[in-house]
Amino acid sequence: MPSPLQTVLDVILGITPVPGLSAAFNILSHIVSAIEQARKSKQRLAVLAQSAAQLLQTLNTEFRAARLVQSACGKPLKDLHSLLLDVQKFVNEEQARPFFKVLLNHDDRMEGIDGFYRRMSTLADAFQISALLNIQGMLSNDGWAARQDGDSIHKRLMGLEHQMQLWHTLSANQQPQYFVQPQAGPMNWPLAYGPVVLNPAQTSSVVQHYYVR
């Protein structure tokens, strides 16, 4: 079964857009290029692009069959163009966020992606092609992709936790080295290269200064 991104590429490469949809297909190709470089939320973004490709493919078919006329679809076409530009901006911003900021903004990201599907559904109504698009199927695929991305995040967090545990283990095994130098006089203090550490095992009637390199 081809991946969602491969499906989008097949649509882009296999279709000659009607003049009114050329800019929309061009934006979609840029979206795909950005998602190919993505490391975060890749499955959800790919499924989102796949849904946009299904919308464009259906519209292209309807325009070619003259069941839709460009002159009568000015506002829906403008809204379609705006939607795709917003998706492109969302994808670029998503990849620019640091990993931990992505975790903190999880709810905002969920709402952002859900909002794109609501706008697709509104566009389908505006173009009167709702019967030709399976919006519920798109949402179902999005749910599957969200679980896939969740598993990827969990694996990455587990890897980070393992690295932290290893770092703590190595740090705990590094014992400080003690160096003893008798006090020679009030102005002859040893040079301290680190925090002063008192070693309980060292006892003497002579005042000692302890330091670690």
Mean pLDDT of all residues in 190-211: 46
- More confident call, 211 vs 58: 58
CA proximity to 118, closest of 86, 88, 155, 165: 86
Q: Which residues pair with 182 in a beta bridge?
A: 208
- More confident call, 200 vs 127: 127
Residue 132 has pLDDT above 90, yes or no: yes
Domain boundaries, the chain: 4-157, 174-213
- More confident call, 75 vs 2: 75
**What pLDDT digit, counting tens, does each position of 182-200 carry?**
555 555 544 444 444 444 4
Cα separation, 27 vs 12, in Å, equals: 11
- More confident call, 85 vs 173: 85
**What pLDDT digit, counting tens, does each position of 13-55 carry?**
999 999 999 999 999 999 999 998 876 678 889 999 999 999 9
**What pLDDT digit, counting tens, does each position of 1-15 carry?**
678 888 999 999 999
Percentage of the chain beyond pLDDT 90 is 47
What is the reported pLDDT for 147? Answer: 85
- More confident call, 149 vs 179: 149
The three-point CA angle 128-82-126 to 5° equals 10
What is the reported pLDDT for 126? Answer: 97
What length is written for the chain? 213
Q: Which helix (H) or strand (E) holds 94?
A: helix 74-96
What is the reported pLDDT for 181? Answer: 53
**What pLDDT digit, counting tens, does each position of 87-126 carry?**
999 999 888 777 656 566 665 677 889 999 999 999 999 9
